C-alpha cells in the first residue's frame, strides 16, 4: 500500500491534491512548472476518499537552472 499525503498551500493547482509519499519522510519535492514545490510533513491528518492521510504544508519553491 502506498502512503498518500494531502498537499496544503503552494500553487492553486497543487493545493488540496493527494500525492504518493515514497518513502514516507519529512519533505516532499514535487516537480512543477519548471521548478520544484517543497512540502514539509505536519502532525495533522485529514480524512480523504483514500482514507486518513498526513497533511504536508508548502514551504518553498526552487527553480530548475537551465
Taking CA atoms, 57 is separated from 1, 10, 62, in Å, by 23, 8, 15
Cβ atoms of 38 and 27 closer than 8 Å = yes
Average pLDDT, integer, range 11-30: 89
Q: What does pTM read for this prediction?
A: 0.88
How sure is the predictor about 3, in pLDDT bands with cuts at 50, 70 and 90? confident
Residue with grid cell 510533513, as numbered in its chain:
41
Amino acid at each position: 500500500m502506498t502512503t498518500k499525503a494531502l498537499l496544503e498551500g503552494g500553487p492553486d493547482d497543487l493545493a488540496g491534491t493527494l500525492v504518493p509519499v515514497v518513502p514516507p519522510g519529512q519533505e516532499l519535492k514535487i516537480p512543477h512548472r519548471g521548478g520544484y514545490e517543497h512540502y514539509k510533513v505536519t502532525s495533522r491528518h485529514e480524512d480523504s476518499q483514500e482514507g486518513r492521510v498526513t497533511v504536508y504544508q508548502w514551504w518553498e519553491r526552487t527553480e530548475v537552472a537551465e
